[in-house]
Chains A and B, each alone.
Chain A
Amino acid sequence: MGLNLHWRRLVAVFATCAALVGGDAMAAPAPAVAPRPENAALVSDITMRLARAGAIRADFRQTQTLSAMKQPLVSTGSMLFDRRSGVIWRIETPYKATYVITDGGVREAGADGRLVASGGGGRGVAQVSRMMRDMLGGDLSALYAQFDVDASGTPERWRMVLRPNQPQLAQAIRTLEMRGGAYLGRLDMTFANGNVTVLEFGRTTPVDAPAPAERAWLEAR
């Protein structure tokens, strides 16, 4: 039993990232674990702001700096984040693909619009997605339980740095740095092995609801 429990922590990290990428980190009821007093108000303000939109669309640009690569890997595309059901991640360059991330896992939308299981069995992803939903519906205590949170700036122009406060998490992640205003603008993930992934979001707009086709994907079992 012991192991899958440890493994959870890794999953929790992905969940955290996914949630943050979604730009809707956490709605904020009163935190159970007392955060650092000087920035608690700002953190709570930021998360509340991010939680406001039910669904948003944005363009993204992802830059991965990996030690095994000659140069950074850049991909661009657009995404839809729906607070209730999940994320649709459309990559435009360097290749075209659409990924649907829900409680059921990560699936890829084929050319005919049908969803197919992506890559591995997707067993792990069901967990990722579920954890992500937990975090979204959840509270700041989950955030503080995993990270030391440092926030600076104003609610209109803020910067938040998350450092794992537990050794398990620190094995995978060094820091998460988020910047933004009304929406999340940029996320820097620095991994323990030195690799860095930067996500930049632009043209973020709130939407009332996903398009019917997208809704069908998100709700497909």
Chain B
Amino acid sequence: MNPARDVIGAAGERARRRVQCAAWLLVALAAIATILWRFSGPAPLQTNLLALLPATEANPVAERAVDMLGDALGNRTVYLVTDRDAARAKAAAKQFGARLGASGAFRSVTVEVPPFDLSQIAATYLPARFGLLTDADRRSLEQGGAALGERLARRLYAPPVDGLQTAVADDPFGWLQHWLGELPLAASNLSLEDGMLVSHRDGATGVLVMTSLPGSAYESRVQHAVRIATADAERALATDFRGVRVDRAGAVFYAEAARASAERDVHVIGAVSLAGIALLLMSVFRSPRLLVLAFASTAFGIVCALAATLLVFGKLHLLTLVFGVSLIGEAVDYSIQYFVAYLSAGRQWDARRGAAAVRPALAVALATSLLGYAILMWVPFPALKQIACFAIVGILCAFAAVTGFLPLMLTQAPRRVPSRAFSGAARLLSGWQSLLAGRRAVAAAVLVALVAIPGWARLKSDDDIHLLVQRDANLARQEGNIRAAVGLANTAQFFVIQGASQEEVLERSEALVGALDRQQLGLIQSIATFVPSAKQQAHNRAVLDTRVFADVAALRETLAKAGFRDDVADAWIQAFSRDARATLSVDSWLAARWSAPFRHLWLGRVDGGAGPVDAALAIPERVDATNAATFAALARTLPGVSWVDKAASVSNLFGAYRVDSGLWLIGALVVVAALLMWRYGMRGGIATTLPVVFAIALTLAAFGYARVPLTLFNWLALMLVLGVGANYAVFLREGCMRDQAGIGAVWTGVLLSAATTLLSFGMLGASAMPALRSFGTTLAIGIVLSVLFAPLATPSAKECRA
């Protein structure tokens, strides 16, 4: 041995270590820089709950319609200021609106609506009046019903039937007036008083305050400003107008609430799991250095995962954020295994060899976990894809840090070994093992089956959309109040009509409206009720031509007899021949100022998958469980018409994937079993798979006994139970194969891993998001059971020696 060479070797070793440490640091810094860069720009948090929803519509136009309608309604908010006393409600609304307006949080605040010239509506339609007939008028004319003279008398003497009046000179028979009367303009319960929009309900008066936002409802800056302004205005109202109630509705409030609750989740889960993990590690390892290293490697994994997710997806779902925090508990497992090997090696510790010894166990564990998450990737839900991406990158990086970075740090042999904890664990294990060993394993299996099967029989399922998109209950109640007071149209379920041209869309819309009319399915807001197709307008003109204007002399005589001045009658008759070509088009309707509140009915030119198409919406006034099915069936019979019910589609998708995920679970189980058999042989493979199989079986039974309906997310969580739960059996078996004497240390490691995972995933069970709650409870139960059965995987003494 040449001491000089040793010194040189040691120096070279130190230099190499320093370079390697610098490389790890560089990667970590790069990841942190990416995150900081992303967070410094527009907030990368996705607070739009609808963004969690998968694309459900086979038709790209329908999917586009959902987005466009969401955008159109997204940046509006509505407040309803209610009091028993009408004058007080109005005064309060004025103050509330003024306060909101002064806050600068809104682009506009409207309490008193500006006067509006009603004649604008008639003016839009007047040039094309001879092509506009109601179905009733057209039918009556075609059937040659009442004589023209009688029609005139009714028009002139009957009490006013229609809301929008036309001048008798322009519209002697009142056909245009009838037509205007059928416009679906007044689908609301509001009236105008003192220039304010007011609703009277249950003896109370509600005054509407409408605002528009200066930016997207999903920007945290906008959300923050709106929240502050609203709280301030409400406070002012509470002092000046005690007892006045304010309800609010708007996407911005839901997004704000979702973000706040996710942040609460992150804080609680983060704090509890970090503190718990720190406490656990400290109490067992009793080394602050190991604790810091454990958190460093875990943090490395989480930071890389965050950076990678932001790079791949651009935006971070709240769901991912919350789930990401809970990944700490799993990522820390690898370092725990490494520390256990480190401590049990004691004086003989060699960093490089130690790493090589634990690597197989960690690699097998990593493979099973990755498999679990990879399956999440396959499910077409944007949120789950992101969670899977986050988890895969996170645990891969944590694994890399443990096998690459920790050996650089732990070169010295441990000074203290928690041998008492290890020997205690070993006693616990051997006691438990003796209960499960040999023949008893078969008995345990039978027992598990006996316990599980009645539980399975009680399993129920739930595919509601609220698993993914849960709206704040308080806000939903307030929105309900406003909807009831205002009579806001439903916007969640509607028809989408597409065609090669505007005309085709209009004709197909008319076919739809006609079909709904025939089946008496209620009123519908459709572009066709505002703009008839050119074909329909031509038909109407032809009816007037043959039934009214065929004999101009007789017509003039009839008008004169009814009392019309000759010049008025002549002007009207001339207008018919002059305006014969005038056809109302979608474009001229869109150009009218008053059409603004209805323009969302026309989608315009959109990408239809196979080239651009024209598209429009038709929104039924009332949709319930019974008629929704009829609407869907009707849409299937009409060309170019689809029924869009996003909530139902998502629920269907949940259901379909819930059923599929059961099959995937079995498939994944087979893959895991094959992987383990490949490493541990037939017998060993089965023994190592068995604990997680029992765990899954009993977890399912537990849900059955508890009568908690199973959701897609429970099944997906079982996938993770498989991935994570198999780890414990693997760790135990690998530990045994490495060093039968150090089994106490390995079991300690397994218990610690399980405890940390339980802490973080278990905390998910307390999340406000139902999907994550399902994940959390399933994982918690599954992990406890996996650990409980993990000793089944320990090889027999004979196998160990081999």
Interface pair A69/B161, CB less than 8 Å apart: no
Interface pair B86/A141, CB less than 8 Å apart: yes
Cα–Cα, bound, A64→B118 (Å): 22
Interface pair A7/B186, CB less than 8 Å apart: yes
Q: Which residue of B115, B160, B191, B594 contacts A12 across the interface (Cβ within 8 Å)?
A: B191
Those of B188-244 within 8 Å (CB) of chain A: 188, 190-195, 197, 200, 210
B164 neighbours in A (Cβ, 8 Å) = 7, 10, 124
B563 neighbours in A (Cβ, 8 Å) = 69-71, 73
Q: Mark A125-161, 1 if CB is under 8 A from B, else 0.
A: 1011001001000000110011000000000000000
Contacts A70-B563, A120-B162; A94 near B197 (Cβ below 8 A): no
Q: Mark B103-141, 1 if CB is under 8 A from A, else 0.
A: 000000000010111110100000000000010100000
Interface pair B177/A5, CB less than 8 Å apart: no
Interface pair A119/B192, CB less than 8 Å apart: no
Determine if B182 is an interface residue (Cβ-Cβ < 8 Å).
Answer: yes
Contacts A1-B597, A91-B157, A106-B161; A68 near B195 (Cβ below 8 A): no
Interface pair A95/B181, CB less than 8 Å apart: no
Interface pair B169/A67, CB less than 8 Å apart: yes
- Name the residue of chain B whose CB is nearest to the CB of A14: B160
Determine if B154 is an interface residue (Cβ-Cβ < 8 Å).
Answer: yes
Cα–Cα, bound, A127→B210 (Å): 23
Cα–Cα, bound, A161→B598 (Å): 38
Q: Is the interface of A mostly helix, strand, loop or mixed?
A: mixed
Interface pair B163/A66, CB less than 8 Å apart: no
B153 neighbours in A (Cβ, 8 Å) = 94-95
B186 neighbours in A (Cβ, 8 Å) = 4, 7-8, 11, 123-124, 127
Q: Which residue of B160, B167, B180 contacts A68 across the interface (Cβ within 8 Å)?
A: B167
Interface pair B118/A119, CB less than 8 Å apart: no
Cα–Cα, bound, A3→B592 (Å): 12
Contacts A68-B168, A124-B186, A134-B200; A11 near B163 (Cβ below 8 A): yes
Determine if B516 is an interface residue (Cβ-Cβ < 8 Å).
Answer: no
Determine if B85 is an interface residue (Cβ-Cβ < 8 Å).
Answer: yes
Determine if B664 is an interface residue (Cβ-Cβ < 8 Å).
Answer: no
Interface pair A32/B157, CB less than 8 Å apart: no
What's the tally of chain B residues with a CB closer than 8 Å to chain A?
Answer: 59
Interface pair A8/B169, CB less than 8 Å apart: no
Cα–Cα, bound, A179→B688 (Å): 99
Determine if A37 is an interface residue (Cβ-Cβ < 8 Å).
Answer: no
Determine if B159 is an interface residue (Cβ-Cβ < 8 Å).
Answer: yes
Contacts A10-B118, A32-B85, A89-B159; A145 near B182 (Cβ below 8 A): no
Determine if B26 is an interface residue (Cβ-Cβ < 8 Å).
Answer: no
- Give the shortest distance, in Å, between A131 (CB) and chain B (any CB): 7
Contacts A10-B163, A68-B169, A99-B159; A119 near B188 (Cβ below 8 A): no
Interface pair B154/A2, CB less than 8 Å apart: no
- Give the shortest distance, in Å, between B454 (CB) and chain A (any CB): 54
Cα–Cα, bound, A62→B159 (Å): 11
- Name the residue of chain B whose CB is nearest to the CB of A67: B169
Those of A63-102 within 8 Å (CB) of chain B: 64, 66-71, 73, 75, 89, 91, 94-95, 97, 99, 101
A-B contact pairs, 9 of them (CB 8 A): A3-B116, A3-B594, A4-B185, A6-B118, A12-B192, A32-B86, A68-B565, A118-B161, A121-B136
Give B residues with C-beta under 8 Å from A: 85-87, 113, 115-119, 121, 134, 136, 150, 153-154, 156-165, 167-169, 172, 174, 177-182, 184-188, 190-195, 197, 200, 210, 486, 563-565, 568, 594, 596-598
Q: A106-B161, A121-B136, A121-B182 are in contact. List 11 more A-B contacts (CB 8 A).
A: A6-B192, A10-B118, A69-B168, A95-B153, A97-B154, A119-B161, A122-B181, A123-B186, A124-B186, A131-B191, A171-B115
